[in-house]
Amino acid sequence: MSAIILASGSKVRADLLRAAAIDFEIVRPLVDEEELKVSLRDQGLSPADQALALAEGKCLSVARIRSGIVIGADQILCFKDKAIDKAANVDEARTRLKAMRGKEHQLLSGVVIARDGEIVWRNQAVSRLWMHDFSDDYLTGYLERCGEQALSSVGCYQLEHEGVRLFSKIEGDYFAILGLPLLDVLATLRNLGALPR
């Protein structure tokens, strides 16, 4: 079977594959994400297409130097029709969460799989999330408990941990919200013969 490579430094994506008993290795992509995001926005790509293009850039940067099956993924948060980047610090996270409380936002996920340097599968997923109108006191305590960890997620929350308490409703694939539409990825890996059927 072909080697499976995750072109991502995301701990959550790696944890999802490990939990599914996938044998894989991590190779961090050689992509300047910030520069690529600026370029994609300048081209006028929609946030969903930006997420897919970022995933493709990560995937191909690794697939060009490694044989086997390479998985690249990315995610963009869209709030009030605007693509949002990760918060730079806890104060920015507080401001962002205050702006989003009581409102809806979307997480737009893109995943690309290449085999021996050629893209064989692309996937986009849209998840809609509604935050409840949490209090300032709860938000302060949440950020104190999470600290810098809140900055690892574009939404300043980790749904698999206490961040789930910020929400009143979620529509979409739970795994895609975490960063990888796992069931679709597993089906593709089976179709490629990288996993037993």
Residues assigned a catalytic role: 74
Are 97 and 166 contacting, i.e. CB atoms less than 8 angstroms apart? yes
Q: Residue length, the chain? A: 197
Q: What angle do CA 109, 20, 66 make, to 5 degrees?
A: 70
Dump strand ranges (E) for the chain. 4-6, 25-26, 69-79, 82-84, 104-115, 118-131, 167-171
DSSP annotation of 147 reads: G
